[in-house]
């Protein structure tokens, strides 16, 4: 779910930045009120992209903290199971690297 949200936000930000670039490119060919309007729209698009990127960052940090708290609680409730799991993963990684 988090990966889908990050992917969606990433695509939205890319689209907004491309739109802003197109508006700025069009504004360079114009003068007067029309150019100011296009530059304003471009700046608003960039502001929106930055806001979406900031929201995605906050969401990822919150999800990371929640996962860390869940992991910490699990390890405290199941210390021996956690040690066995870590040893199993270490053994698996050792076997994989030993084959190379």
Cβ atoms of 17 and 53 closer than 8 Å: no
Supply the pLDDT for residue 96: 92
| More confident position, 26 or 86 | 86
CA–CA distance, 75 with 83 (Å, rounded to integer): 9
Domain of 15, in residue numbers = 2-99
The whole-number pLDDT of residue 87 equals 92
Q: Which string of DSSP letters, residue by residue, matches 48-74?
A: HHHHHHHHHHHHHHHHHHHHHHHHHHH
pLDDT tens digits, 26-83? 767 767 787 777 777 777 877 888 888 888 888 888 888 999 999 899 889 989 998 9
Q: 30: which 2 tokens?
A: 């114009």
pLDDT at 91: 92
**At residue 1, does pLDDT exceed 70?**
no
Task: Say how many domains are in the chain.
Answer: 1
pLDDT value of position 2: 61
């Amino acid at each position: 779910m988090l990966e889908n949200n990050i992917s969606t936000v990433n695509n939205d930000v890319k689209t907004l930045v491309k739109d802003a670039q197109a508006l700025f490119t069009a504004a360079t060919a114009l003068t007067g009120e029309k150019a100011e309007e296009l530059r304003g729209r471009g700046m608003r698009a960039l502001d929106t992209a930055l806001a979406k990127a900031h929201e995605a960052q906050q969401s990822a940090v919150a999800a990371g903290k929640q996962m860390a708290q869940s992991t910490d609680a699990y390890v405290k409730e199941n210390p021996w199971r956690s040690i066995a799991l870590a040893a199993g993963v270490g053994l698996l990684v050792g076997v994989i690297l030993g084959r190379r």
